[in-house]
A and B are shown apart, each in its own frame.
Chain A
Amino acid sequence: MATSFLSRVLFWPRWFFRQLTSMRTALFLLLLLAFAAIPGSVYPQRSADPNGVRLFFDNQPELAKVLDSIQIFDVYTSVWFSSIYILLFVSLIGCVVPRTKIHYHALRAKPVKTPAKLDRMPIYRQFEAFEPYLDAAQAVLKKSRIRFTRSGNSISAEKGYLKETGNLVFHYSLIGVLIAVGVGGGLSFSGQRVLVEGETFVNNLASYDSFSPGPFFNEENLQPFDLKLEDFEVVYDLTNLNNRGQPIDFIATVTALGKTSEIKVNSPLAAPGANIYLTGNGFAPVITVRDGEGNIAYSGPVVFLPQDSNMTSLGVIKVPDANPEQLGFISFFYPTAEELESGAYTSIYPDPFVPLLTMNLYSGDLGLDNGVPKNVFALDTSNLKEVASRNAENPPLQLEPGDVVDLPDNLGSVSFDGLLRFASLDVAYNPGGIWVLGFALLALGSLALSLMIPRRRIWFRFADGKIEAAALARNDDPGLEDFLQRLVLEINKEIEKK
């Protein structure tokens, strides 16, 4: 009774597993997976577009909260998306493993016995011949490397085992891809760093502006190296009239590992344990601020973020060390400035031909001392006094390179000492990539095999001075008739030889 009890207990799990591994379920899960992937292209994703997510939260905070609770901003790592593909892979394994066993036995077994009624096969021929015909057929099959078995007056042959092999290898490769993606992602890291021309970056965690490690990342894996941005050049199209101002090339010249090399878009630099990619660029005007007491309160390049294709750029300068009052600037940089009728400026070309800085000046407590981390690219002006701007008593400050301008209210002075460019660099490492590629290529090759190779059975039988020849294909196979025809022709040739 113990076995029947056990089988009763296992009935539902077995039933569930059988359902899960059926082709119908695989089909259903595939369609579900395609459907579940859609929201990730409609809503911004934290992984691909964190800024978009932030904007969404700012614009529709209520809706964002609801959507976030069902992981709409992290679709591809969400519980529901993950459960679909995990179920799909369980179903895949449950389907492929038994098929592997069957195929393994089929590979070692002889082709099936010749059926009694060959004339029921989709392709069937009958013609007069002598008994040695079967010997010739055997020779041709052997030469064509087609597996066959002869029993008495008939030959049974089968070819195209590679079709099923390809199909199985394809599905196993997909498991390989999934594992390589998972393990590789776990060991990976990527870090971002903005470097102004002349600055040096040392590869350790503290040097990154932002850093996202995989769950198994170990800080000791960061290989020590320095990288100095010597020069950053942007080549614009000056030749073609209608194309003027289109960037043609971005070239970051860097010194690293005792060598000078170039990093470009599409051509990263291979560093020890990581690749270094060029992902962005912009201007970094060199600015010096003297406070009301005449002391240098700030001096150095300031990274300005590009706002449009003509490189109108926005920068924020915070000067907490200024006395008697802290100073803050919100500044626009126009590489080729042109004044609009309204008196505002715009940039009409991305290269610095007529560079101009305009600055709004604020004074008061910048709020940097209370320990809350602040975005360096934004200035909270709510508690500050607007000293100079289009809305204030004093007009915005305007500086061309080399200019020194006194600040209103004896707050000090500011100078535009020079113009540098910056490059945003990504340092990324993913040891899984090469494995993903390997498995993906294996999947591609085996997929082609499994879809293109036909599986065919062929039979010959000799009886009463006649040969019966028949062929059967597992799938739809338009070449089946030709195939049998060619075999018969070759067998005839073989007979003539003798």
Chain B
Amino acid sequence: MNQVVLNEPLSQISLLFVSGAMAFIAIALVVFSFQLAKLSSDQSVDSSKLSNLEKLGFWALGLGTLVLTVGVVMRGIAAGRVPWANMYEFSISAALLILMVYLTALKIKDIRYIATFISGFVLVILFAAVSIFYVEVKTLMPALDSYWLVIHVVVAILASSFFAIAAGFHIAYLVKNSGFGKKVMNLFPDLDQLERLAYRFNIVGFVLWSFTLIAGAIWAERAWHRYWGWDTKEVWTFIIWVLYAGYLHAMATRGWRGSKAAWLGVIAFSAVIFNFTIVNLFFKGLHVYSGL
């Protein structure tokens, strides 16, 4: 590998942009919450049309996405490689992809009502990234220096983004089904629709996750001389795959559709989060790249 010249000043500017994006997304979160509160207190308003408040929220979210894009790209330039080689970089890239997938899906389907969940979730990721996971730009360790870093990791992030959005629908389903916060939940589509949307995002996520698993195995064969060795990260990738496979079977089993399947979806997504946080930080294994 050629000697990379790291650009630390640029990585500092990138951090500024990431923080700026957080400010925009926080504004979006406040506005969306306010909108929900308003709608729930006044049921007569036609929620199918974009209100001024919502327009403001989506402007803030769009600007946040744009600023975050600049931040992520700068981080990549500063490190002289793809910006997802440690937990900090993985987090900001995942946040960006979730926003992009959500905003793109919004063009196709009216899923405005999970905007609050999405902006809140992305904000949590970015906050954790900046405050807990932050590390200065480093060169790649030789084990990560492979084009599989681009393929394997980017697809893993994309799969996680789809799972995250599906989890939003699952949570909405479960809250609505429990009868909690009836006024707010009345604004959400009916249970069937929520279940269908969750399923749609989960199947895309599942195909991408399967690809992640295969690409990871090919890379492991190159780097670690075996395609599968039950390393802790491999174990959890497998567990997540099996949980989502279970979810798909639940959706095809009488008596399991509905809240049971939704719970399964939430559990499977918790495993994704667990795999990224607890397994990365506290479990011993070969996937040591948190940089912390």
**Distance of A283 Cα from B103 Cα, bound (Å):** 54
The CA-CA distance from A200 to B152 in the complex, in Å, is: 36
**Which A residues from 261 to 285 make CB contacts under 8 A with B?**
264-268, 275, 277, 279
Stretch at the interface among B61-69, B88-96, B141-149, B158-166: B141-149
CB of A444 within 8 Å of the partner chain: yes
Q: How far is the CB of A105 from chain B (nearest CB, A)?
A: 21
A448 and B243 contact, Cβ closer than 8 Å, known pairs A44-B284, A48-B231, A248-B1: no
Q: A27 near B279 (CB under 8 angstroms)?
A: no
Q: How far is the CB of A77 from chain B (nearest CB, A)?
A: 10
Number of interface residues of A (CB under 8 A): 58
CA A235 to CA B3, docked complex, whole Å = 9
What is the CB-to-nearest-CB distance from A45 to chain B, in angstroms, rounded to a whole number?
Answer: 6
Within 8 Å of chain B (Cβ to Cβ): is A140? no
Contact present for B139 and A37 (CB under 8 Å): no
Q: How far is the CA of A444 from the CA of B38 in the complex (A)?
A: 46
Take A24-B253, A448-B207 as given contacts and tell me if A246 and B225 are in contact as well, using a CB distance cutoff of 8 Å.
no
- Contact B196–A476 (Cβ < 8 Å): yes
Q: Which of A60-68, A151-159, A432-440 forms part of the interface with chain B?
A: A432-440
- With A237-B3, A265-B223 already in contact, the answer to whether A37 and B235 are too (CB < 8 A) is yes
What separation, in Å, do the CA atoms of A444 and B218 have in the docked complex?
A: 14
Give Cα distance in the complex from A426 to B45, angstroms. Answer: 69
Structural contact, B249 and A26, CB atoms closer than 8 A: yes
Segment from A28-36, A118-126, A222-230, A348-356 that makes contact with B: A28-36
Contact A40/B235 with A247-B142, A264-B142, A443-B210 known, Cβ cut-off 8 Å: yes
Q: How far, in whole Å, are A243 and B207 apart by their CA atoms in the complex? A: 38
Which residues 138-193 of B sit at the A interface, judged by CB distance below 8 A?
A: 138-143, 145-146
Complex Cα–Cα for A84 and B14 (A): 49
For the complex with contacts A23-B253, A40-B230, 7 further pairs of A-B residues with Cβ separation under 8 Å are A242-B136, A249-B1, A249-B142, A264-B142, A265-B143, A436-B227, A452-B203
A-B contact pairs, 18 of them (CB 8 A): A23-B249, A27-B246, A27-B249, A30-B245, A34-B243, A37-B235, A47-B229, A235-B3, A237-B3, A239-B5, A240-B139, A249-B142, A250-B142, A265-B142, A265-B143, A266-B145, A279-B224, A437-B227
Residue ranges of A at the interface with B (Cβ–Cβ < 8 Å): 23-24, 26-27, 30-31, 33-34, 37-38, 40-42, 44-45, 47-49, 52, 75-76, 181, 190, 235, 237, 239-240, 242-243, 246-250, 264-268, 275, 277, 279, 426, 428, 430, 433, 436-437, 440-441, 443-444, 447-448, 451-452, 476, 478
